[in-house]
Structure 1
Amino acid sequence: MKTIWFLKRGSAIAAVTGAALLAGCAAVQTTDSGTVGVDRKQYMSSLVSEQALVQEAQKQYASIVSQAKAQGALDVDAKQTARVKAIAQRLIAQVGVFRPDAAQWNWEVHVLNSDEVNAWCMPGGKIAVYSGMIKQLKPTDDELAAVIGHEMAHALREHSREQVSQQMATDVGLSVLSALTGSSATSDLGGKLTEVMFTLPNSRTHETEADRMGVELAARAGYDPRAAVTLWQKMGSLSAGNAPPEFLSTHPSAATRTADLTKIAEQVMPLYQSAKK
């Protein structure tokens, strides 16, 4: 009986591995490398199309915006909102350097009235900046451009789709295993998008890519790329001796990050100087 159990277990593992590989084997080039040289190969599951994820993001974003409006928490400060949207529009005008199709995305930008120090950009260009970030950090326009550019880079690079793909591939394997064992496994695209956007941390690789691309977007838009360094220094000071703000809880900061941002900022300074002429 023990020999039979091991054979069944081995077959199950092989099936799980094979299914996961089939679900996530396609190499995708989401963006051009830009001046900062982001050129890592990404692997996306055939089960998670860009279009499907963008449609789900649109629905979730519309729900968030509708709820904020009902609560009187949407774009409360007109001057603050105008500032955020103006910075975002200058950054959006530069996205073609990484992916020309993104210039045609249905970009949206809103400020949510919340004490959280946070910002994000969903697939397809749905941006939210929390008022708590502006009130607590008191960022310059250059620093705010660094925040928004960083989040836009996550969307341009389709990091959410990459994470969802990894989860869906795992679920395919679990589904095969559940069929063998009699347990159950389900997959929910909307739930997974919510999870990767608002719960799960980004990987160090994703963060580095977003940092670098965000700095280049800012420089091309005429914002000082060195502000990314002072921004993260301000972030770090908020968490000194306390629990880190929400933005930092999923965006790990370290000395290596500051060093990398300093290096990249110098690399794109000619772009900034050219944009300022």
Structure 2
Amino acid sequence: MMMKRWKKQAGMLLGSALLGTSLLVLPAGRAEAVDAWAVAAQSLGVLAAYKSSLASILAMGNDVNAQVASARQDRQENGLDDNEHDVRIVNKVMQQLVTQGRYVLKANSLPFIWGVNNSNEFNASCFPTDYISINRALVRGLECDEDELAAVLGHEMTHGIEQHSARNYAKAVAQYYGMSFLNMDAGLMDWNKLNALASYSIAKNVTLPTEYEADEGGFYIMTSAGFNPGGPAAAMYRMAYYLTYETKNVLEYQDLDEKNKNQENFSDHPETELREQRLAKMMTDYGCGHVTVKDRKNVLIDGQELLTADWTRDDYDNTVENAYYTAGGLAKAFHDYDSPDAWNFRPDGEGGVDFLDDSRVYAVLRDAVRSRGLGSKLEQMVRAAYAGEAQSGARAAMRQEEAQREASFAAVQQDVQAADAKAVKKMRENGDAYSDYGMGRQALWEFSRVFASKNMDDEAESYVMRGRAKAVEGDYVGALADANRGVALDGKNAYNFLNRADIYRMAGNREAALSDCASAKKVDAENPFSYLISAEIEDEQGNKDAALKEYQAFYKLRPAAFRRIPPEYLQKISAKDYKTWQKEKAEQDKKKAEARDKARKAKK
């Protein structure tokens, strides 16, 4: 599900690739004829290509403007899903994943943003900028199931966390260059065959392993956020069903020929049944090895059958999903609770036994057990399972694996906190850019990392910029407290006054904002933004003459930025630039009209 649109942008001939041993084997005679210095130079060229590509894409992935552009591009190419229920469910799931899931982003990564587009392809993707694009067809193909969506979106988050898009593309560049160099020296095959071989090597040796890694990472993100551990395996089954029986897109169709099962194909994604099996095994391990699903319908505890799942819908055989959700509820309880007493087994008032609580994650399990009258049987099996853990060591093994993951998280967190001053400055700039876009939550996320860092390069500016982010979120008291502290620490930085002016302006105190603009002018009379902000505030207050004077001062300092001056003032300041603005506006209006016509035709 990763990077479909990004691959098209970055170069379709490359996809993603392996930096390492080539699949080509040179004949001995031709190999000896290759000049040693030429081979060395080619090797250095491959390494340079890899490093250059990686650096460029990682830089893009740490640029707020590029992230916002990713979302805008997605909207322009695919439109927005206008179904409010789709969007509400995705927002709910993503918000739970990003706020409650256990993960750590690298120092040069941005916080996640996302959108639901109107594409009819069953897909989701994570751009190098940590923008997650979710297609309408995927949301509806998974029938807005929260646990299955959490599995898919956790998978995409892992692509972003591990920077797979950037690293795979950089390796693709290196792989392709390396194979090309060898072919130029050895002349082994025509270029069409070389492209096919490179694409196959890329798919199998680079992209495919990262898909497995994303499956695993997504599993632990979604389970740590409180979703059902059976969701990922259920999502794989539902995905296979959709691609076989429901999709109307011939390019998505998946043939369930028995001969093709349990083996990899040419695709850069693993076969769905193999992924389902791997994710089911993760669910079992998550529940201390107690819970398994046999034949996709029988739910077992320590090898003994508790129940057999069946249909609960008329329009679709959801037996498999019910089996995984039943087992997932058991696995979560075994994982979360260290004793059977914590399951809260109790009389249900109807002669049976109730257990756990009524949270959504246990709903399928509790319904299945209660409808069959298996509460007493479940209690006996659960107590026996815990009793056997001392001998099997299952819980200790599970906790040890969790401790290892926590150690990995801690190591990444330490790296982030130890980032050098240049990296911390970029975090602060990213935070301020988010404030410019009105994205206060993301801005404050960046500033939390700035203030947790050991190498903050400008404390005063950091306080004032964080104050501006708080103001974007509506916390004007906290915003001014931060801004006042920053100005007190450094009153010689004009931008500290300008940021505080923006806070006053957002809070509705225009006089205080103008006063701070005046202070900024005293510190640096050549800073154009002092005049721009003053002009905007004067215009807001209806002081046209004062606004014109400030815009004239701004234009004198930054004539190339004339597009930031409203046309009624620009006409008086520069007739030439006003004509340019008129021409550009007419072109933009024409494009918008064409886009509206195209959208209307598409709906018909």
Please tell me the TM-score bracket, short chain as reference: 0.5 to 0.7
1:4 to 1:80, Cα distance in 2 relative to 1, 3 A: closer
Displacement after TM superposition at 1:81 (Å) = 1.1
User: How has the CA–CA distance of structure 1 residues 51 and 200 changed in structure 2, closer, same or farther, with 3 Å as cutoff?
Assistant: same
SS in 1 for 2:270: coil
Q: What's the counterpart of residue 542 of structure 2? A: none
| Partner residue of 1:236 out of 240, 248, 262 | 240
Matched, 1:118 2:136: no
The equivalent of 2:99 in structure 1 is 93
Note the C-alpha offset of 1:214: 0.4
Deviations 1:7-54 (A, max 9, x none): 455543332124334665xxxxxxxxxxxxxxxxxxxx3652364130
- For residues 188-207 of structure 1, what are the structure 2 equivalents within 5 Å? 203-207=207-211
Q: Do the aligned residues in 2 keep the contact of 1:15 with 1:176 (CA within 8 Å)?
A: no
TM alignment of 1:165-184, pairs within 5 A? 165-170=170-175
Structure 2 match to 1:245: 252
Contact 1:122 1:155 in 2 (8 A): yes
C-alpha displacement of 1:239: 2.8
State the alpha-carbon separation in 2 of the partners of residues 237 and 228 from structure 1: 14
Q: Deviation of residue 245 (structure 1)?
A: 2.5
More helix by share: 2
Q: What CA distance in whole angstroms lies between the structure 2 residues aligned with 1:234 and 1:72?
A: 24
Structure number with the bigger relative contact order (C-alpha 8 A, sep ≥ 6) is 1
Specify whether residues 229 and 117 from structure 1 end up closer, same or farther in structure 2 by C-alpha distance, changes over 3 A only: same
After the TM superposition, which of the residue ranges 145-154 and 80-89 deviates more from structure 2? 80-89
- CA displacement 1:224-257 (0-9 Å, x = unmatched): 1211111111111223378462899653324432
1:5 & 1:210 partners in 2: Cα distance? 39
Question: Shift of residue 79 of structure 1?
Answer: 2.7
The amino acid across from 2:91 in the alignment is K
What is the Cα deviation at residue 204 of structure 1? 2.5
Is it true that 1:213 corresponds to 2:220 in the alignment? no
Residues 134-159 of structure 1: CA deviation (Å, up to 9, x unaligned) = 22331410001011011111111111
- Find the residue that maps to 2:160 and give its secondary structure: helix
Contact 2:105 2:161 in 1 (8 A): no
Identity of matched residues, %: 24
Mapped to 2, the partners of 1:98 and 1:221 lie a distance apart of: 10
Whole-Å separation in 1 of the counterparts to 2:203 and 2:242: 21
What TM-score do you get using the length of structure 2 for normalisation?
A: 0.34
The amino acid across from 1:84 in the alignment is V
Alignment check: 8 A CA contact 2:119 2:135 kept = yes
Runs of 5+ in structure 1 lacking a partner? 25-44, 181-195
1:82 corresponds to: 88
Partner of 2:216: helix, strand, or coil? helix
What's the C-alpha RMSD, in Å, of the aligned pairs?
4.2
Conserved in 2, the CA contact under 8 Å of 1:12 and 1:177? no
Question: Post-superposition shift, 1:127?
Answer: 0.8
Q: 1:116 to 1:140 in 2, by over 3 A?
A: same
1:16 aligns with 2:16: no
The letter of the residue matching 2:219 is V
Asked if 2 retains the 8 angstrom alpha-carbon contact of 1:116 and 1:246, the reply is no
Gaps of 5+ in 2: 1-28, 186-198, 255-264, 289-330, 338-358, 362-604
User: 2:477: which partner in 1?
Assistant: none
How far apart, in 2, do the equivalents of 1:149 and 1:163 lie?
19
Post-superposition Cα deviations, 1:37-81, rounded to whole Å, max 9, x if no partner, equal xxxxxxxx365236413057963x544543554578224222321
- In 2, Cα distance between equivalents of 1:12 and 1:146: 48
Instruction: Note if contact 2:120-2:135 (Cα within 8 Å) is conserved in structure 1.
Output: yes
- Whole-angstrom distance in 1 between the partners of 2:77 and 2:169: 30
